[in-house]
Every structure is written in C-alpha cells, then in structure tokens.
Amino acid sequence: MTEAIEIEEQFNALRSLIHQGDISQFRDIFLDWHVYEQGQFYLSLSDEERQTVYSFLSPTELADMFDMIEEEEEDVQEYLAEMRPSYAAAMLASMYPDNAADILKQLDKPTLAQYLSIMASEKALDLKELLHYEDETAGSIMTTEYVAIVANQTIKSALNLLKKKAKNAEIIYYIYVVDELERLVGVISLRDLLVGEDDEMIETLMNERVISVKVADDQEDVAQVIRDYDLLAVPVIDYEDNLLGIITVDDIIDVIDDEATSDYSGLAGVNVDETTENPLKASSKRLPWLITLLFLGMSTATLINHYEVLISEASILAVFISLITGTAGNAGTQSLAVAVRRLAVSDDKDESFFKLVISELLTGLLTGLITGLVIFIVVGFWKHNFILGFVIGIAMLCAIIVANLAGSLIPMLMERLGFDPAVASGPFITTLSDLTSVLIYFNIAGLFMNFFVG
C-alpha cells in the first residue's frame, strides 16, 4: 500500500516536469527507472503529455520501454500513429526484433510498408523474415539477436568478441557455436567461459549435445523444452540445422500464461482476459456462447416435452430431473478437465487415448455406483418408495458413465481432428450431458411406470 502511494507520488513529480518542459531533470529521473516502471508511467500519460515525452527522449531510449509494454497493450498501434513516422520507425528498429515483429504484425499493410521503407535495409530485411513465420510457432516468437561464435578460438578471444556483442544481444548467458555454414554445432555457457582458462579452446569446452527446437515447432512444445531443461534460452534451427534465432525464457512465461488462460477460458465458456469492465462489451462477448448453449439446451427441453405424458401421470419424476442432469454434468466436467490436462502433457497420444478412455469408463462406473447407491437410499427413505429410489439410482449410474465417457472422448476427438482440446468447454459438456441424462432417465422411468402411477 505504501509502495503504491510512493510510486504514485513519483509519477506525479515526473508529470509536473513534463508540464514545466524541464527536459534535463525529466531525463535524469526517467532514464534511471526500470523499464517496467517507465512503461507504467508512459501508459498513465495523456495524449499531449506523450507528445512532450517524444520530444524529450530519443527513439532508442523509448524502444527499451516499448519492449516491455508491447505484449500487454492493445493500443500500441495508436501510440505509433501519434509519433512522426521516422521516429516510430527508428524506435521499432531499436527494439528487440521479436517484439518489433509482434507490433508490426498488427499494423495495416501501408503503415507496415512505410515503416520498413524508412528503416535501414538490413534491419528491415531481418524484420521481414520474422514476419513470415506462422503464429504460435517457434519462428514467430524467436529473436535474432543472439551471440554466435566459431569453435576454433580460445576463451579469451571469445570473451573479447562477447564484450562487443553484449550490448545488442537479448541474452548473452548462452553462447552458441556454429560452423562455417552457420550450422549449430555446440553451446557454451558464459559461466563456463568465466570459470575456464584464457587459452582453453572453445571446441574442447563446448557442449555438443545442444538442446534446440525447430523453427516450425509449436510454441507450447518450446515451452515444454525450456521447462524440462530449466533453460534461460533455447536456439531455433531450420531443417538443415542452421541457427536462425533464440527464444528467451521471458517470452516462454508469456506462452505458458496464455496457454493456461485459454484452457481456463475454455472450461468456463468465456474469455477470462476480458479486460473491459464495460458491461455492453462484456455481454456481446459472452452472449454468443450463452445463446448457442441455450439452443442446445432447447433440444433437452424438447426431449423432456416428449415425455410430458409420463410427467403428467407421475409428476414426482420432474423433481429429480435437475438432480440427475446436474450430477452427471459435474462428473463430466471433472472428466473433461482431467482429459484436457492429460493430453497437454502426454507424449504418446495414441497410447494415452485408450488408457484414458478405459480409465474414465471405470472411474465413471465406480463413482456412478456409489453416487447411485447414495441417492437410492436417500430417495427410498425420503419418499418411502424404494422402486423410485432404484430408478433414480440406476439413471444416475448410467448418466454418470456416459458423462465421463463424453468428457474424455470429446477433447480427444478434437485433438485428433487438429483442434485445441481445451475449447471443448465445460458448459458444452454439461449441456450435452443434460440431453443424454434426460434420455436415460425417462427411458428407465418408463419401464417402471406401473409403480408410480396412481
């Protein structure tokens, strides 16, 4: 709390320097801050205040801060639009290429072309290449600013080279070793360079078993590699082992975050990163799902309607509809969540497919048996009618088994068809299981009608 107030005061002090036009004191304070705080300050400014900031700071100075804010902010294009094009292009050229490419991807074609034409041609070529890679692949999140050296040199010469390159590289703690054809042949950590003797050769020290990813690999697989091997960065190669770039751990944290958010959103049937608190916008995003599910639910209603005669003869049946659909829905959601997670971490999808279905089938049988038994006893005593209890119990058992099967099969089918299994959302499974549960329930009840009527 006190820290938040302190920061607020510092922001206000700096803002008044903008209003006074005190460029030198502004620069003293602002440039001393961490880029994250610089970003938070920048985001708090008004249009006019930002214009003054552009006159106070060089494009390069602004670039460091933009490296921090680009991944969170949706308004980055608008910020660029309010800068002079030459200023914006210079800033983009000074950013880390992966971040600059992320921003450029969001621009319309003419603006993109304009910025690229202003930049130095080498830089523009670099960025154009990054723009080619498909979304969510290793290529699309890698940066081209890494340190690569050849094997045939001493530690001392490597360290000297590193000193020169250190300023521009995104990470200098792994140094990649390439051959004359730019093929990745080894890696050496800065720690090893420091600990080693000056005249040791890189080729004897380097580790030839380099962990690397392919440029077309899915970003989630890259995240798995970085997590498994506890890496700070991983090199990206093409299919001829040429080193193309590196992916750093901070970008992977964002991937892991996004992945978790999309799984969570899928289960809830809503985009939980809904940043808006505007109820109109929020509603417009949630309604498509709600209405779709409403129509799916209508088929359940139609089905119940089909059994209306049964209900009018034994209205007690209506009492247990929502209990059975609800419980089966809960079981199905559990099964779905386990299946989605299991698929995400499994290496051999085929093997896990059968294992998981069998396991869920048996789990459904067991949980169904016990839940069915409990409800049989409860309803039997409550209604003094053990036949009714039996019907409810058996219906519960069958409905839970079917829900468990659906909960595990649907995400796996989606995976096989090439969709993200996480979008087989919770509400979808529950609504679907409502339908099957009602069907099961009334068919079983129909067999025992003689015992309820009258």
- Of 204, 277, 417, 418, which lies in the binding site for a second copy, with binding defined by CB under 8 A? 277
- Of 286, 346, 387, 420, which lies in the binding site for a second copy, with binding defined by CB under 8 A? 286
- Of 143, 219, 327, 436, which lies in the binding site for a second copy, with binding defined by CB under 8 A? 327
Say if residues 380 and 386 touch (Cβ distance below 8 Å). Answer: yes
Tokens at residue 201, please? 């050769």
| Separation in Å, CA 7 to CA 47, 53, 202, 235, 389 | 21, 19, 47, 38, 64
Site for a second copy in 69-98 (CB under 8 A): none
Interaction between residue 216 and a second copy (CB under 8 A)? no
Report the residue number, 119 or 304, with the smaller CB distance to a second copy.
304
Report the residue number, 114 or 262, with the smaller CB distance to a second copy.
262
- Percent helix, strand, coil in the chain, to 5, is 70, 10, 25
Side chain identity at residue 38, one-letter code: Q
Tokens at residue 169, please? 């590289």
Q: How many CB atoms lie within 10 A of CB 278?
A: 10
- Of 13, 81, 113, 268, which lies in the binding site for a second copy, with binding defined by CB under 8 A? 268
- Of 23, 131, 216, 318, which lies in the binding site for a second copy, with binding defined by CB under 8 A? 318
Q: Which helix (H) or strand (E) holds 14?
A: helix 2-20
Tokens at residue 204, please? 């004897």
Site for a second copy in 13-72 (CB under 8 A): 32-34, 36, 68
Min separation Cβ 135 and a second copy, Å: 21
| Separation in Å, CA 183 to CA 179, 245, 251 | 5, 12, 24
Report the residue number, 172 or 414, with the smaller CB distance to a second copy.
172
| Separation in Å, CA 287 to CA 131, 267, 375, 424, 428 | 34, 16, 35, 17, 14
Q: Which residues pair with 143 in a beta bridge?
A: 246
User: How many angstroms separate the CA atoms of 400 and 350, rounded?
Assistant: 25
Encode burial over 122-159: b for 16+ CB neighbours within 10 A, e otherwise: ebbebbeebeebeebbbbbbbbbbbbbbebeebbebbb
Task: Calculate the dihedral angle through the C-alpha atoms of 178, 180, 183, 187, rounding to the nearest 10 degrees.
Answer: -10
Min separation Cβ 179 and a second copy, Å: 20
The span of 45-53, 102-110, 150-158, 373-381 binding a second copy (CB under 8 A) equals 373-381
Site for a second copy in 418-437 (CB under 8 A): 426-427, 430-431, 434
Site for a second copy in 175-194 (CB under 8 A): 190-191, 194
**CB neighbour class for 71 (10 Å; exposed up to 12, middle 13-18, buried from 19):** middle
Report the residue number, 83 or 148, with the smaller CB distance to a second copy.
148
Interaction between residue 289 and a second copy (CB under 8 A)? yes
- Of 153, 157, 242, 297, which lies in the binding site for a second copy, with binding defined by CB under 8 A? 297
The span of 87-95, 106-114, 120-128, 292-300 binding a second copy (CB under 8 A) equals 292-300
- Of 31, 287, 447, 449, which lies in the binding site for a second copy, with binding defined by CB under 8 A? 287
Site for a second copy in 348-367 (CB under 8 A): 348, 355-356, 359, 362-363, 365-367
Min separation Cβ 22 and a second copy, Å: 21
79 Cβ contact partners less than 8 Å away, ≥ 6 residues apart: 50, 73
- Of 294, 377, 413, 447, which lies in the binding site for a second copy, with binding defined by CB under 8 A? 294
Interaction between residue 399 and a second copy (CB under 8 A)? no
- Of 13, 113, 211, 447, which lies in the binding site for a second copy, with binding defined by CB under 8 A? 211
β strands within 241-331, DSSP E: 243-248
Min separation Cβ 227 and a second copy, Å: 6
- Site size for a second copy, by CB under 8 A? 108
- Of 109, 132, 209, 384, which lies in the binding site for a second copy, with binding defined by CB under 8 A? 209
Site for a second copy in 229-258 (CB under 8 A): 229-230, 232, 249-250, 252-253, 256-257
- Of 125, 166, 377, 413, which lies in the binding site for a second copy, with binding defined by CB under 8 A? 166
Site for a second copy in 120-159 (CB under 8 A): 159
Say if residues 176 and 210 touch (Cβ distance below 8 Å). Answer: yes
Interaction between residue 380 and a second copy (CB under 8 A)? no
